Structure 1
Amino acid sequence: METATEAFVAHRDLLFTIAYEMLGSAADAEDVLQETWLRWVGVDLDTIQNQRAYLVQITTRQALTRLRTLRRRKESYVGPWLPEPLLTAPDVADDVELADSVSMAMLLVLETLKPTERAVFVLREVFDLEYDEIAGAVDKSPAAVRQIAHRARAHVAARRPLGVVSAAETRGAFDAFQRAIETGDLQSLLDLLAPDVVFLGDGGGIKQAALTPVVGAGSVAHVLGRIAATASLQQAQVNGYPALMLRLDGEIDTVMAVRIDNGHITGLYVVRNPEKLSHMRRETTLRR
């Protein structure tokens, strides 16, 4: 049991990130890790040549099963669906490619892939696993995995944001964005927002949120003005990039992730669904 525990703990961060990138939900990723652990402790470790590969295989299969269930639930979701925000450490932001892979913008692109395509893309493009290793995880031949990877790569390339964004490069624009919201400086907001900026709000039918995307600097600035008047703002590192947490009576009410390209805000991803904020609330409490 001790050896099994050591191996699981050694690879836990990798397994969690794989599950999260496949599911877009920290809570579901934690459930997948629990299911992985339950299966892992029943394995005869003497028969396992590569413990990391075997753990990735279990995690991927469990995540695929859960992903197919989640896709059915999303069909009846009220308003835009956004990934569950994930509080990330500074070292994630330092790894620009990893930060981009867990960003809200990229996770929304991954939502457009079929389950197996998503698994293959994450394992190959994000974690650089070999085709043979991926084949065992998704129950396909290596040749089939190569074809799926090629198809998924082309699909993502046609839909992903224009480029990888460095958190350091966006810091100045992000700080200016927060000041503009806090002071109600409409002109500064308009100067920071790209003309075709998109605002997505996820209330899940529980909290008030726009039921359709809000597009355009003027319309988005108007929405931001209403939000800022009701809460205090706190910076956080969410999904690899700077974000704002809005607190009401000390509790996280809203998480606003920001996409900045060339000094202008091109995307705002605003999560208000309380069910998607429970993990953030626990994490921020633990880190205080």
Structure 2
Amino acid sequence: MSDTDLLAQRFEEQRPRLRSVAQRMLGSGAEADDAVQDTWLRLSRADVAGIDNLPGWLTTTVGRVCLDRLRSSTARHEQPVDVAETEPATAAPGARDPEQEALLSESVGQALHVVLQTLAPTERLVFVLHDMFAVSFDEIAPVVDRSPAAVRQIASRARRRVQGRSTAPEVDPARQRRVVEAFLAASREGRFDDLLTLLDPHVVLRADAAAVRMGGTELRGSAGVARFFSGQAQGAVPAFVDAAPGAVVVVDEHTRLALSFTVTDRIIGIEVVADPDQLRELDLVVVDG
């Protein structure tokens, strides 16, 4: 198998994920397919030897392609052909492509899609990549030409707007809080099987440098993350971290650790922050009870 064939095979393995990102960003099946094809063209021209994490590179690249398309269509005041912003929720049968309708209903939900359309292009990209696909702020920052701290603020603002306007299960803050609380309880009690149930198979755990010095690490996959947390979180209490469901560890009235969770149907991302300067910048709200 040639290098080109091997690269194409690896790209095809990522195609469903890339199309899902583009679908959420653009709301149009045809536009999503075009964005994925543009991503393949960029990959075919790139120095693949310099790409350490191909799935991450592809995810951020398709996000950049979608962002360019959104900014371009906004400037021209265009709407996607097959999902117009003003289209009513009770459109007549056949008004949308059946395949796209099924995809939206299954993976995003019509209500959430409509809310995403109200976000500015940069907000939409940050929200989709981070809150739906657990891409780190450090990875998103160069895509939108902002600092990681600024990206975190954008995500927080977008999250509040989405949670305030959508009743879709994917962004129901009450449900997200229940999932996180169940995770913390299972962690404290060492219930490994329950942790596996609450974690997405492709969950990503990230820790900042200060958290790594305290024993944190970066892990991928539900088994590894469940083993890491099993029997832990003894001092963690539920909280909202920049409006995302999470937890904090407070010692002597000082916050020593903050964990934020990305939750869709299950937990797909966990970020651990222990750096004092970063902790001071976070909007932390401990959950009563």
TM-score by length of 1: 0.49
Which gives a bigger RCO, structure 1 or 2 (Cα 8 Å, sep 6+)?
Answer: 1
